[in-house]
């Protein structure tokens, strides 16, 4: 099946108001910026986003966040995104902070059909015991806090129960992809992209290089096409437009 879409707008045309999205990337690496911009252009709001972070430097999800299109974020950290921090502390945004490894496994588990799993990460903290602020009231108080989670002992060690994540859509970026949706990620851009792709019921992948089926060796495929519904081939300009969060040089 040829899964290639003609435009980015067509690729996200059916994302509705209030949809949940799993979005790949880590910082500015491997972020599906073109698809995010297309979603921004559509004006969709009320989104629930699952991503390691919520964009940076007015790039990636920061575009949707600054426009007030995101209502809820499940992620690992706020980072240097001042607008993210402002909305969270001001009570405009609900935030579920999750340990990074736990977030990765929740996405993978959701994509693998595993509803929940036990992990030692977070035992003895508010991650397990509850009380983490999810939404502030705008006056410094907590309007909504995280609930306690089930903790169980296995072989003398305590583990907390975490739920797998499934989302309505997933947006990811790959280095190379074929028309059947088989994807290859380049180095650090592999990060959360395969996991986010697995978690989405409808996964859209923007690819820097589109090839014909069979050109990617089976052993080289990082994510099989069964997880990908749509493929968007980027232009050379889009494929090379990559920002650097903190540029460093050596002499």
DSSP conformational letter for 197: H
Query: Exposed, middle or buried: residue 144 (CB in 10 Å: 0-12, 13-18, 19+)?
Result: middle
Residue 113 tokens, joined: 């059909």
| pLDDT per position as a tens digit, 121-159 | 999 999 999 999 999 999 989 999 999 999 999 999 999
Residue 243 has pLDDT above 90, yes or no: no
pLDDT at 43: 95
Q: Which of 57, 66, 56, 90 is nearest to 75 (CA)?
A: 56
Position of tokens 């706020």? 78
Q: Do 241 and 213 form a contact (C-beta atoms < 8 A)?
A: no
CA distance 87 to 92: 5
What is the rounded average pLDDT for all residues in the chain?
95
Residue 105 has pLDDT above 80, yes or no: yes
Could you tell me which residue, 80 or 157, shows the higher pLDDT?
A: 157
Helix%, strand%, coil% for the chain, nearest 5: 25, 30, 45
The DSSP-derived string for 48-69 is EEE-SS--BTTBTHHHHHHTT-
Q: Do 195 and 104 form a contact (C-beta atoms < 8 A)?
A: yes
Quick one: which H or E segment has residue 167? Answer: strand 167-178
What is the mean predicted confidence (pLDDT) over 216-240? 96
pLDDT at 86: 95
Q: Which of 110, 191, 119, 195 is nearest to 160 (CA)?
A: 119
pLDDT at 154: 98
Residue 246 has pLDDT above 80, yes or no: no
pLDDT at 248: 82
Residue 244 has pLDDT above 80, yes or no: no
Angle at alpha carbon of residue 14, lines to 9 and 87, rounded to 5°: 85
In order of their start, the domains of the chain are: 4-115+164-240 (3.40.1080.10)
Position of tokens 């977030």? 103
What is the mean predicted confidence (pLDDT) over 167-179? 98
φ, ψ of residue 240 to 5 degrees: the values are: -100, 0
pLDDT at 249: 82
Position of tokens 């907590």? 142
């Amino acid at each position: 099946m040829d899964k290639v879409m003609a435009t980015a707008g067509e690729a996200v045309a059916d994302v509705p108001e209030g949809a949940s999205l799993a979005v790949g990337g880590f910082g500015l690496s491997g972020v599906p910026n073109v698809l995010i911009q297309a979603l921004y252009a559509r004006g969709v709001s009320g989104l629930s986003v699952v991503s390691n972070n919520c964009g940076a430097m007015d790039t990636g999800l920061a575009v949707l966040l600054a426009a007030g299109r995101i209502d809820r974020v499940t992620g690992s950290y706020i980072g240097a995104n001042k607008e993210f921090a402002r909305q969270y502390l001001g009570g405009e945004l609900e935030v579920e902070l999750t340990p990074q490894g736990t977030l990765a496994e929740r996405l993978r588990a959701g994509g693998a059909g595993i509803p929940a799993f036990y992990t030692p990460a977070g035992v003895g903290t508010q991650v397990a015991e509850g009380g983490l602020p999810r939404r502030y009231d705008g006056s410094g108080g907590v309007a909504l806090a995280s609930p306690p989670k089930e903790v169980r002992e296995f072989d003398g060690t305590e583990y907390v129960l975490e739920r797998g994540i499934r989302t309505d859509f997933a947006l990811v970026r790959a280095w190379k992809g074929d028309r059947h949706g088989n994807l290859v990620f380049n180095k650090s851009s592999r990060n959360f992209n395969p996991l986010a792709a697995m978690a989405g019921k409808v996964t859209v992948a923007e690819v820097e290089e589109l090839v014909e089926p069979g050109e990617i060796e089976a052993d080289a495929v990082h994510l099989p096409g069964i997880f990908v519904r749509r493929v968007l081939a980027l232009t050379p300009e889009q494929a090379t437009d990559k920002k650097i969060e903190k540029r460093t040089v050596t002499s």
